[in-house]
C-alpha cells in the first residue's frame, strides 16, 4: 500500500517537470518571476527558473525517504507511516499546484498580456492544503518532523494527542473557510489572519493543557526518565 504513495509522489514530480518542458520553446528568455501584492509583475528572470519548484519537490522526496531512518527512539514515524506518506503527497501536491498556477500566470502574461491574480491562486491552494493536512493530524503520533512540535506536546503523549485532535478540527475548518473566502474575493489580509489564527490556537491550547495537567499531577512520566534505569556503564 505504501508503494502507491511513492508512485503518486513521483507522478506529481514528473508532471511538474514535463509541463515547463512542454511550454519552454514558446517562452521568451526573460519571463515574469515575481508579482507584488497587487498582482503586478515586479521581477523577471530566465525561463530556467520554472524548474526551481520541481527541484524542491525532488529534494522533498529524498528527504521524506530518509527521515524515518533518522528518527530517534520513541519518535519513529513507523507508527503512522501511511499517514506520513499521505502527508508527503499532500505537500508535493501543493508544490505541483503552485507550479501549475505559476505556469498559467506566466503563459497568460507573455502570450495574452493578461494579468492573473497569482496571490489568490496560491492562497486557494494553500487553504486546501491546510484542510487536507488538518484532516490527518489526529492520526499523527509524536515525532520531530510533522505536527504541532512545541515543548508541551513533545513532553507529553497525552498533550500531543489532545492537541492534534483539536488541531485537526481547527486547521480543517480554517482551511475550508479560507478557501471559500478566497474564491469570494475577500481581502488577502483576512485570509492571512485566518492562517495565523489556525496555527496559533493549537499552540496556545497545548501550553494551557500541559500546565493544567501539571497542576493536577496528571502528567505521565517522561520516557527519558523511564529509560534512565536501563543505561549501563
DSSP 28-69: -SEEEEEE-TTS-EEEEEEGGGGGHHHHHHHHHHHHHHHHHH
Q: Which of 62-76, 113-127, 214-228 has the lowest mean pLDDT?
A: 214-228
Angle, vertex CA 49, rays to CA 46 and CA 55, nearest 5: 155
* 31-66 residues labelled b (16+ CB within 10 A) or e (exposed): bbbebeeeeebeeeeebebbbebbeebbebbeebee
User: pLDDT value at position 82?
Assistant: 93
User: pLDDT value at position 225?
Assistant: 39
Average pLDDT over residues 118-137: 87
Q: How far is CA 12 from CA 16, 19, 25, 38, in A?
A: 6, 11, 22, 30
Mapped to the 3 state alphabet, what secondary structure does 155-187 carry? CCHHHHHHHHHHHHHHHHHHHHHHHHHHHCCCC
Q: Which of 34-48, 101-115, 172-186 has the lowest mean pLDDT?
A: 34-48
User: pLDDT value at position 137?
Assistant: 92
**Cα first-last separation, the chain:** 43
Contact between 147 and 154 under an 8 Å Cβ cutoff? The reply is no
pTM: 0.83
With H, G, I as helix, E, B as strand and everything else as coil, classify residue 136: helix
**How far is 91 from 144, CA to CA, in rounded Å?**
17
Question: For the chain, how long is the longest CA-to-CA vector?
Answer: 73
User: pLDDT value at position 183?
Assistant: 85
Which range of 45-59, 68-82, 86-100, 107-121 scores highest in mean pLDDT? It is 86-100
Which of 200, 212, 121, 120 is CA-nearest to residue 159? 212
What one-character DSSP code corresponds to residue 24?
G
Amino acid at each position: 500500500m505504501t508503494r502507491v504513495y511513492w508512485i503518486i509522489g513521483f507522478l506529481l514530480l514528473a508532471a511538474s517537470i514535463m509541463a515547463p518542458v512542454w511550454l519552454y520553446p514558446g517562452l521568451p528568455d526573460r519571463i515574469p518571476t515575481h508579482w507584488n501584492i497587487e498582482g503586478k509583475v515586479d521581477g523577471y528572470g530566465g525561463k530556467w527558473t520554472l524548474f526551481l519548484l520541481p527541484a524542491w519537490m525532488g529534494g522533498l522526496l529524498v528527504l521524506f525517504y530518509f527521515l524515518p531512518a533518522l528518527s530517534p527512539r520513541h519518535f519513529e514515524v513507523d507508527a503512522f507511516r501511511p499517514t506520513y506518506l499521505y502527508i508527503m503527497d499532500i505537500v508535493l501536491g501543493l508544490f505541483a499546484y503552485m507550479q501549475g498556477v505559476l505556469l498559467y500566470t506566466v503563459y497568460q502574461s507573455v502570450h495574452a498580456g493578461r494579468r492573473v491574480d497569482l496571490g489568490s491562486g496560491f492562497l486557494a491552494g494553500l487553504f486546501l492544503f491546510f484542510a487536507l493536512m488538518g484532516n490527518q493530524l489526529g492520526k499523527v503520533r509524536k515525532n520531530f518532523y510533522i505536527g504541532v512540535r512545541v515543548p508541551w506536546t513533545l513532553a507529553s503523549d497525552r498533550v500531543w494527542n489532545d492537541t492534534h485532535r483539536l488541531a485537526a478540527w481547527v486547521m480543517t475548518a480554517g482551511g475550508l473557510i479560507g478557501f471559500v473566502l478566497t474564491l469570494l474575493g475577500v481581502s488577502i489580509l483576512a485570509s492571512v489572519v485566518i492562517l495565523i489564527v489556525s496555527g496559533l490556537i493549537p499552540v496556545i491550547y497545548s501550553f494551557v493543557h500541559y500546565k493544567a495537567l501539571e497542576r493536577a499531577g496528571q502528567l505521565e512520566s517522561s520516557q527519558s526518565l523511564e529509560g534512565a534505569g536501563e543505561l549501563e556503564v
